[in-house]
Amino acid sequence: MSDTIHVQNIRCYGYTGFLPEEQVLGQWFEVDLTLWVDLSQAGQSDCLEDTVDYRQAIEKVQQLVRSARFALVERLSEAIAEAILTLTGVTQVRVRLTKEAPPIPDFGGQIVIDILRSRPRNERAG
């Protein structure tokens, strides 16, 4: 299936990081999602029930970033993917998680985790 919904620039303050101060002081993260979903029925019916309500995806990302206290951004990315794959109709998700200002001396860039996860084939109906 090639239909996708892109949800970009979900910016949240969170507490994931290896260093103790990252889990206490927190930092900004940005998440971009690509949701694979069959959009053909919604394209014909114009009904929200026939597509993925991307507000739910945004809410799941915001809740996880704000509440999780993982050591690794890789784990936070995986948790986001797992949560998004619970949404009805989503068969695959790409999560791009950006750590906007990692506390690394003399480094002004960003760290980006980019993962692609699929719902197991036996769970794809629905």
**Helix/strand number for the chain, H first, E second:** 4, 4
Residue for token digits 């998680």? 97
Q: Is 2 exposed, middle or buried (0-12, 13-18, 19+ CB in 10 A)?
A: exposed
- List residues with catalytic annotation: 99
Distance CA 41, CA 51 (A): 8
Strands 27-36 and 111-118: unpaired
5, 41, 60, 92, 98 from 47: Cα distances, Å: 16, 9, 22, 22, 33
